[in-house]
Amino acid sequence: MTVSKRETIKAQRTRKKRQQRMNTLLWVGGFILLLVIILISPSIYNALKPAGDFSTITPVPYQLVAGKAIGNPNAKVKIAVYEDFQCPACKGYTESVEMPLLTSSYITDGLVYYEFMQYPFLDSQSIAKESHQAANASMCALEQDRFWDYHNIVFINQGNENSGSYNDKRLQAFAESLGLDMKAFNDCFTANKYSGDIEADYESGVSLGVNRTPSILINGSNQFPTYIPTYEELTTAIDAALQSGG
């Protein structure tokens, strides 16, 4: 049976349309699958993002470090600072106030006990949960006695909220750049090992009336409830607490 040229062309067009429909269905299906991953499992979506370029740091030695606290635990003045790694104000506070304080005589002379408190609230309405993941990663660095180095590299690489600055691969790359034991770090990070500790920090802040970051509590009192202090203002408050006997 001889197939006419017209029938051949018609058959080719039919196959082409069928293939186009198939390609469209595959594209739509892939897009829907991606949306499902994003909506149902943000951690999977976050883990798919590449690390990309980031700034590295030169680790700075600190004295009297114990985990995410630094200073003399028996000091008369105890400072607890509640921060979110995605908080722009926390980044500014860290660079201009916190870091100078950590290397000052208040710490090295054992006059002040200073503790970073996890308060990851900025991703409460986000599927990415980058504040929690950054907190999770910092605690895994703490496990290797490198909390403050990790704290510094996270803040220096802060970007827009939940935009991928703290995706999983990036947080892992930060740890690798610091020379951490990556098997131990990844095991800890993947297991979200310190979620209970992070939640405990957060709940302690809630119980103390913390509603913004950074919140700076000196001996349990929120000294600067409406603004971020300068280094001079913070040290003035510390001096007053020392003179009053704490």
- Domain presence at residue 87: yes
- Domain presence at residue 50: no
The answer on 217 and 130 residing in a single domain is: yes
Query: How many separate domains does the chain show?
Result: 2
DSSP state of 228: P
pLDDT at 236 over 70: yes
**Residue 40: what pLDDT?**
52
Q: How confident is the model at residue 234 (pLDDT cuts 50, 70, 90)?
A: very high
Instruction: Note down the domain range covering 214.
Output: 65-243
Q: How confident is the model at residue 81 (pLDDT cuts 50, 70, 90)?
A: very high
pLDDT tens for 216-230 read 999 999 999 999 999
**Parallel, antiparallel or unpaired: strands 112-118 and 77-83:** parallel
- Domain presence at residue 154: yes
Averaged pLDDT score across all residues of the chain: 89
Segments in the chain forming alpha helices (H): 5-40, 42-48, 88-93, 99-102, 105-108, 130-142, 147-156, 168-177, 182-191, 195-207, 231-243
**Residue 36: what pLDDT?**
57
- Domain presence at residue 92: yes
The answer on 127 and 36 residing in a single domain is: no
The answer on 144 and 212 residing in a single domain is: yes
The answer on 77 and 27 residing in a single domain is: no
Cis peptide before 214 (omega within 30 of 0): yes
**Residue 83: what pLDDT?**
98
CA-closest candidate to residue 175, choices 162, 189, 161, 191:
189
Specify the CATH number for the domain of residue 82. 3.40.30.10
pLDDT tens for 109-163 read 999 999 999 999 999 888 889 999 999 999 999 999 999 999 999 999 999 998 8
pLDDT at 13 over 80: no
- Domain presence at residue 194: yes
- Domain presence at residue 123: yes
The answer on 33 and 134 residing in a single domain is: no
The answer on 130 and 72 residing in a single domain is: yes
- Domain presence at residue 51: no
Token output for 189: 């990070």
In whole angstroms, give the CA distance from residue 72 to residue 81.
16
The answer on 225 and 130 residing in a single domain is: yes
